[in-house]
Amino acid sequence: MPATNDQAAAPATDAAAALLAGLVARGVRHVVVSPGSRSQALALVAAALEQRDLIRLHVRIDERVAGFTALGIGRETGMPAVVVCTSGTAVANLLPAALEAHHAGVPLLLLTADRPPELRGVGANQTTRQPGLFRSAVRLEADLAVPEQTDDDGTAAQTSELDALAAEALAAALGEGARAAGPVHLNVPLREPLAGAVPEWLAERAASRTTVAEGADDDDVSGALYQGGGGIGMADVAPDTEAAHVVEPGPRTVVVAGADAGPVAEQFAHDGGYPLIAEIVSGARFGRHLVHGYRALLREAELGGRIERVVLFGRPTLSREVTRLLSRDDVEVLAVRGPGEPVNLNGATVAVDAVRASGAGERAWLGEWMRASRDAAVDLTPPAPDAEGLASTVPRERLGALNAEVEVLRAAVDRAALVDALWRATWPHDRLVFGSSRIVRVADELLGGKKVSVHSNRGLAGIDGTIATATGVALASQDDERPGVTRLLLGDLAFLHDMGALLLTPGEDEPRLQVVVGNDGGGTIFDGLEVASVAGDDAMTRVQYTPHTARLEQLALAFGWEYHRCTTRVALDQVLTAPTGGRQLVEVPLSR
C-alpha cells in the first residue's frame, strides 16, 4: 500500500525521493525493483512514481534477472534503467549484468541499499562490503552519506545534494567524461526507520525538468562522417568536422562490422566502395556491398590473404577468421570508437572517433569480393510447389508432385531452417535477440542481408540473463503501444540458465515476446571446439555437454507462457507469423 500523508516522514524515504526524482526529471523512464527490507524506501518511492505515471516499474524476484532486464532496456533505448535492490548477496547478483554493460557500453544505474557504516564488518545480518564491489566496471561509484534530514517542501540541503548526484550519475552512465556509456553504482546506506510517508513534492520535482535527449534515430546516416555506437541508442552521425580520420583510397580495404556496429558501418562501406563483412549481430547486415560466406572467403589467400586495411565498427566475436584478420601485423586496422570495449588484437590498431571516406575504393577489388559473395550465398528458401505437376492430368505426374509437397510439409526443422524462419519472420518494427549459443554462429554463417534491429549480449558473450535481456528489449521497444514483436533465439542451456526470467509480476504490461529454443538436449557448441578432439565420450557428456531432460512445456505452464512445439518448418512459420499478443515459448527439437 502507498504511504499516506498521516504517516511520519523518514530521512530514508525523503532521500530516496530526492534521488529518484532527480533521475526521472532528467529522462529516466524505467525502474526495476527486487523486493527487500533495507531497500523499501527506494521501492515505495518507485511505486509512487508509477502511480503518478512518471515511470514504468518492473518487479523481479531475482536480482540477476532484474539487472539483465534493465540491461535490455538500456540496450534498446540508449537511456539507463534504474535497478533497486536490498543489501548483501542481492547486490552481488547484479555483477554479471554490470560486467556485460561495462564491456558492451550499455548505460545502467544500480541503486543498492546498505546498512549504515557502523554495522559493516561487525557481523550484522545481511551486511557485506558493498562499496567497490563493481569498481572495475563502473563509470562512477559513490557510497552515499546516511540521510539524516526530512524535507517538508523539497528545499533541504540533503535534497539538493542528492539531486546533483542524480545528474552526475546519469551523465556518467551515458558516457559523459568517459570513453563510453556504462554502469554506475550508487550505494545507499540507510538507518531505521526504513520507510515513511512519501513526500508531497515528489511528483513535482520528478516532472519539473527538461528530459535528456536520446540518441539519433538509427536510420539517420545521411552525413559523410561516421561514428561508432549506432547499436545502443547512440548517435550514428556527427556534423562534418576536421576531426574525422580520412580513409584514402589505395590499400585493399574491407569494412568489418561487429556487435552493435549499427547501420553506419553499411553506409560507410557503401559510400567508400568497400566490401562489408557484417556479423549477424551487428545491425549492419544489409546493403549492396554485403559479403556472403565471409568466413570461407577470409580463409582464401586470393581474397582474405590480400587484405591490407580494415575499417572496424563494433566488436566482432563470432568467427575465428575475423579474429585472425584483426590480429595480423601486416594489416592496418582503424577501429572506430563505439559503445563497447576497444578492440586492439594486433597491438597496433588505431582507434579513431570517426571516419570519412575521401573517395571510392578500388572497383576491381570490390568486384572480386562481390562475385565471390554471390557464389557463396546460401539459398534457404523452401522449395516451391510444382504447380505444373499439381495441375497435371497425368496421374503419375500429379502423384509425384503431391508426394513432393507432402515431403516439404513433413520436413523436420534443422538449424539452418530455424534461423531462416526467424530471419524471414522479422521486420524493421520487430526486434531480434540472439543468445550466446551455437545457433547464433549458424545464423552468422548462413543468413543473407536484411535491415532489422538486432540485439545480443556480446560484451562478454555469456549465456546468463538472455531471457531477461530480451524481456527488457521488448518492454522498451513496445513503449507507447508501438507495434512489433521481440523474438529471442537461443539454445536449451542458455534458456535453462535464465528460466527464472520467465516469471513476470501480475499487473504489469505483457510484452509481445517469442522465446524460441533450439533444443538439442545439451551443449553441442563444444562439438566445434578443441575439447571435442581430446576428451573421451564419457567426459564430454559429463562435464561439457551438460545433458538434461527438462520438460519445457511444463515450465511454460508453470510460468504462464503460451507453449508451442514445432517439428516442421510449416508449423514453425505459422507460429512465428501468427498475431502475437503476449508471451510465447516455442520449442524446436534439434538433432545433435
Cell readout for 49 is 512514481
Count of CB atoms situated within 10 Å of the CB of 128: 15
Which one of 257-266, 356-365, 400-409 scores highest in mean pLDDT? 257-266
Residue in 492, 497, 499 with CA at minimum distance from that of residue 517: 492
Residue in 453, 418, 456, 408 with CA at minimum distance from that of residue 435: 456
pLDDT above 70 as % of the chain: 91
pLDDT, greater one: 308 or 180: 308
Look at residue 579 in the predicted model and tell me its pLDDT. 83
Measure Cα distances from 37 to 15, 26, 84, 87, 288 in Å. Answer: 16, 28, 12, 9, 57
Length of the chain: 592
Q: Cα–Cα distance between 477 and 459 in angstroms, integer?
A: 21
pTM for the model: 0.91
Q: Cα–Cα distance between 162 and 142 in angstroms, integer?
A: 11
Q: Is the pLDDT of residue 214 over 50?
A: no
Look at residue 226 in the predicted model and tell me its pLDDT. 53
Look at residue 359 in the predicted model and tell me its pLDDT. 75
pLDDT band at 234 (very low <50, low <70, confident <90, very high): very low
What is the Rg, in whole angstroms, of the alpha carbon atoms belonging to the chain? 26
Residue in 298, 297, 331, 293 with CA at minimum distance from that of residue 312: 331
Q: Which residue has the cell 505426374?
A: 397
pLDDT band at 584 (very low <50, low <70, confident <90, very high): very high
pLDDT band at 385 (very low <50, low <70, confident <90, very high): confident
| Chain centroid, CA 580 distance in Å | 21
Q: Is the pLDDT of residue 557 over 60?
A: yes
Amino acid in the structure at residue 365: W
Query: H/E element holding 163?
Result: helix 157-173
B/e letters for 135-170, b = 16+ CB within 10 Å, e = fewer, are eebbbbbbebebbeebbeebebebbebbbebbbbbb
Q: What is the mean pLDDT of the chain?
A: 90
Q: Cα–Cα distance between 456 and 164 in angstroms, integer?
A: 34
Matching fold, domains 11-206 and 411-589: yes
pLDDT digits (tens, 9 = 90+) for 291-342: 999 999 999 999 999 999 999 999 999 999 999 999 999 999 999 998 888 9
Q: Cα–Cα distance between 548 and 542 in angstroms, integer?
A: 11
Phi and psi at 507, nearest 5°, equal 95, -15
Phi and psi at 140, nearest 5°, equal -155, 140
pLDDT band at 237 (very low <50, low <70, confident <90, very high): very low
Look at residue 397 in the predicted model and tell me its pLDDT. 73
Look at residue 523 in the predicted model and tell me its pLDDT. 67
Q: Is the pLDDT of residue 224 over 60?
A: no
11-206 belongs to which homologous superfamily? Thiamin diphosphate (ThDP)-binding fold, Pyr/PP domains (3.40.50.970)
Cβ atoms of 168 and 140 within 8 Å: the answer is yes
CATH topology of domain 411-589: Rossmann fold (3.40.50)
pLDDT digits (tens, 9 = 90+) for 343-354: 999 999 999 999
Look at residue 493 in the predicted model and tell me its pLDDT. 94
3-state SS record for 103-155: HHCCCEEEEEEECCHHHCCCCCCCCCCCCCCCCCCCCEEEECCCCCCCCCCCC
All residues at 6 or more sequence positions from 161 whose CB lies less than 8 Å from its CB, including other chains: none
pLDDT band at 391 (very low <50, low <70, confident <90, very high): confident
Mean pLDDT computed over 517-543: 77
Q: Cα–Cα distance between 468 and 498 in angstroms, integer?
A: 7
Phi and psi at 510, nearest 5°, equal -80, 120
pLDDT digits (tens, 9 = 90+) for 429-488: 999 999 998 999 999 999 999 999 999 999 999 999 999 999 999 999 999 999 999 999
Identify the sign of the CA torsion 100, 103, 104, 108: positive
Look at residue 575 in the predicted model and tell me its pLDDT. 97
Q: Is the peptide bond before 251 cis (omega within 30 degrees of 0)?
A: no
* DSSP annotation string for 246-264: EE-S-S-EEEEE-BT--HH
Give the chain's end-to-end CA distance (angstroms, integer). 52
Cβ atoms of 45 and 13 within 8 Å: the answer is yes
pLDDT band at 216 (very low <50, low <70, confident <90, very high): very low
Cell readout for 569 is 518448418
Q: Is the pLDDT of residue 179 over 90?
A: no
Cell readout for 151 is 524535507
Of the ranges 370-379, 521-530, 581-590, which one carries the lowest mean pLDDT score?
521-530
Look at residue 220 in the predicted model and tell me its pLDDT. 38
- 3-class state of residue 563 by DSSP: strand
Q: Cα–Cα distance between 312 and 269 in angstroms, integer?
A: 11
Q: Cα–Cα distance between 127 and 114 in angstroms, integer?
A: 7
- Domains of the chain: which residue ranges? 11-206, 245-376, 380-410, 411-589
Is the CATH code 3.40.50.1220 the one for domain 245-376? yes
Look at residue 581 in the predicted model and tell me its pLDDT. 82
* DSSP annotation string for 10-77: -HHHHHHHHHHHHHHHTT--EEEE---STTHHHHHHHHHHHHTTSSEEEE-SSHHHHHHHHHHHHHHH
Q: Which residues pair with 256 in a beta bridge?
A: 277, 312
